[in-house]
Amino acid sequence: MRKNDDCIAIYSRKSKFTGKGESIGNQAELCREYIRANYGDETVENVVIYEDEGFSGGNLNRPGFKRMMKDAREGKFKIIIVYRLDRISRNISDFSGLIEELSRLNIAFVSIKEQFDTGTPMGRAMMYIASVFSQLERETIAERIRDNMHELAKTGRWLGGTTPTGYASESVKSVSVDGKTKKTCRLKLIPEEADTVRTIYDLFIETNSLTMTEAELMKLRLVSKNGKYFTRFSIKGILQNPVYLIADQDAYEYFINRKADLFSGFKEFDGQHGILAYNRTNQEKGRAAVFLPVDQWIISVGQHPGLIPGKVWISVQESLERNKSKAFRRPRSNEALLTGLLYCRCGSRMYPKLGRQKTADGKMVFTYVCKMKERSRRNVCNGKNVNGNLMDMEVIERIKVLEDDKIAFIRQLEQSRKSCTDNYTRYEEQLALLKQERADIEKKMNSLVDSLIELGDRGVRSHVEKRIGQLHQEWEADIARIQELELLASRSVINDMEFGVLCRMLSVFGENIEKMTVEQKRAAVCTVVRKVVWDGQNAHVILLGAPDDDKF
């Protein structure tokens, strides 16, 4: 884009797609009408539009907004126009910083709905005032949510969602003060799963290692609720969860010393029941949940039996904190070409493990190791490791053999491209369905949250809160799957130019392989190879577009 004093930027944002109301398109069109009326028809031709759909106004971490600010710093426009103030930000700190930066850049900011224009002193003053009210509204909503958590903490009841290992959620009836019957949920102990939880704590205390605990659980053939082996991450989640903590004197002192928001008195810490902790995570839209410090937790003694004594649970938290500094770090450089492509006969991926020796040409010697073998300490899989340097060389030689038959080679590339295109189409269809499902879930959640304000009956409120929790779980699962599919789809696109470059590169693969960087070699291999299976003796190369039993 060229620098142009007459150029105007339009910014539009919406948290979710609805196809109606103040949609991205509608906002942009309203801004165009404003420009046409105030700056003339010719100016509309120089408009640049920046959009963010599916992003919250709670922060400025949005791709379209970042792109706009980059262009603003390069002097590519002189005015930013939005339909409404909260489209740009709901945070007064972010907003005031933005206005100051735009002022330094000599860029005016116009909000149509509020009729504010920072090109005038009054407009700047009124803009700040409106931003204050936007933030006040946001903070008021957050305060209502926390007040609601306080009320829930008084009851000590389970809100629903993913039930922790060791328990099941059961519905119970109780009678409110006004005589109305309401239903609530509580956690019911599952003895077999509870034994597994105790074993996890015992193993961690014995080994002081998540990895060793994971291996021992595999050796014992202990699995999670869904029948899968526990991972280090799921084990850590169980070890950190206060739901297993017995409400005893040690637990009481732990939360008092860490200034947690305690809603149960000392007498309620009876040494039998477990703990329910509210407000443990910050689940901001578009990013992974962030665990909050203990001083922000809202603590209540639950109705369920606890499993782990306070002293033991606290010592485990201290060990986990100490072990943070010992966490595994991946090697910065990865020379392995088959990372993500190589599988063990057991079905698990194999990953490169660096040794201390070097080859004659100075490269690090590495080995491909089965992830399941490592995790289970040979209890689930005992397949042989394979020399990574030799394995990579062998696969490259196989591609060179394929290259010798030019007709077969081009046919394989066409098959690879078709496979990628088919995958892309499939991913796009799945993405469309998931995004619609996500939008439907958001609509339901927003409707239920709005209804909470009107509901007075506690029984009905508990049902609504439980349903919101369930919908939030579904929404998070959809978000994770959408991100995964978007990544897969982006990797599946091969346009005509890219395809031509790959053909030319692979047509001289043998001649130029030594001149390629590791990334170029890996890209070349991934263009024709879908996966490689190591059976302990031989490697079976499966080309893109070919079924698993069609080994090259």
* Structural domain spans, the chain: 8-141, 167-326, 342-543
Inform me whether the pLDDT recorded for 330 exceeds 50.
Answer: no
Instruction: Extract the runs of DSSP E, i.e. beta strands, from 118-253.
Output: 167-175, 181-189
Inform me whether the pLDDT recorded for 177 exceeds 50.
Answer: no
In the predicted model, what is the mean pLDDT of residues 452-474?
65
Determine which of 257-261, 278-282, 516-520 has the lowest per-residue pLDDT on average: 516-520
Checking 362-366 for CB contacts under 8 A at 24+ apart, the result is: 363/335, 363/389, 364/335, 365/389, 366/335, 366/336
pLDDT of the residue at 244: 96
> Is-contact 248 222, C-beta < 8 A?
no
Q: Using pLDDT thresholds of 50, 70 and 90, give the confidence band for residue 195.
A: very high
pLDDT of the residue at 329: 44
Q: Using pLDDT thresholds of 50, 70 and 90, give the confidence band for residue 72.
A: very high
Residue 128 CA to residue 13 CA, distance in Å, equals 20
Q: What percent of the chain has pLDDT over 90?
A: 22
**Residue 190 in 3-state DSSP?**
coil
pLDDT of the residue at 157: 63
Q: Which residue has the tokens 């005509």?
A: 496
pLDDT in tens, 23-58: 778 888 889 999 988 888 888 888 999 988 878 777
Note the CATH number of domain 8-141: 3.40.50.1390
Handedness of CA 502, 503, 509, 514 (dihedral sign): negative
In this structure, which CATH number among 3.40.50.620, 3.40.50.460, 3.90.1750.20, 2.60.40.1930 belongs to the domain 167-326? 3.90.1750.20
Inform me whether the pLDDT recorded for 357 exceeds 90.
Answer: no
Residue 461 CA to residue 550 CA, distance in Å, equals 57
The better pLDDT of the pair 179, 309 is held by 309
Terminal-residue alpha carbon distance, the chain: 49
In the predicted model, what is the mean pLDDT of residues 203-219?
89
Q: DSSP letter at 509?
A: H
Phi, psi of 222 (to 5 degrees): -90, 130
Q: What percent of the chain has pLDDT over 70?
A: 66
CA nearest neighbour of 356 among 367, 341, 370: 367
In the predicted model, what is the mean pLDDT of residues 428-444?
78
Inform me whether the pLDDT recorded for 253 exceeds 90.
Answer: yes
Q: Using pLDDT thresholds of 50, 70 and 90, give the confidence band for residue 3.
A: very low
Inform me whether the pLDDT recorded for 21 exceeds 50.
Answer: no
